[in-house]
């Protein structure tokens, strides 16, 4: 992929937060919400959003 993924920064922030907080999602809700916002805008251009939004479809 030649262009940078528009939601890669948010995806990395989620990973960092989860590692710091021993994978307790409740401690990372702010960064998860930022990822949701990014994916709602850039879903068609972001590889990072493909797996992230699939979980939302089942809910």
Looking at the domain assignment, is residue 20 inside a domain?
yes
Residue 55 is predicted with a pLDDT of 57
The radius of gyration computed from the CA coordinates of the chain, to the nearest angstrom, equals 12
The span from the CA of 16 to the CA of 2, in Å, is 25
Looking at the domain assignment, is residue 1 inside a domain?
no
pLDDT tens string 2-47: 578 999 999 999 999 999 999 999 999 999 999 999 999 998 999 9
Looking at the domain assignment, is residue 39 inside a domain?
yes
Looking at the domain assignment, is residue 50 inside a domain?
yes
Confidence of residue 50 (pLDDT cuts 50, 70, 90): confident
The span from the CA of 57 to the CA of 36, in Å, is 13
Looking at the domain assignment, is residue 25 inside a domain?
yes
The upper half-sphere exposure of residue 26, i.e. CA atoms within 13 Å in the direction of its Cβ, equals: 0
Q: How many independent structural domains does the chain possess?
A: 1
Looking at the domain assignment, is residue 19 inside a domain?
yes
* Number of other CB atoms surrounding residue 7 within 10 Å: 23
Show the domain range for 47.
8-54
Q: Domain holding 21: CATH number?
A: 1.10.287.1130
Per-residue pLDDT for 54 more than 60?
A: yes
Looking at the domain assignment, is residue 27 inside a domain?
yes
Per-residue pLDDT for 59 more than 80?
A: no
């Amino acid at each position: 992929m030649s262009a940078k993924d528009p939601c890669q920064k948010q995806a990395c922030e989620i990973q960092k937060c989860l590692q710091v907080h021993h994978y307790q999602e409740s401690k990372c809700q702010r960064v998860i919400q930022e990822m949701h916002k990014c994916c709602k805008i850039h879903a068609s251009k972001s590889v990072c959003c493909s797996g992230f939004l699939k979980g939302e479809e089942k809910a």
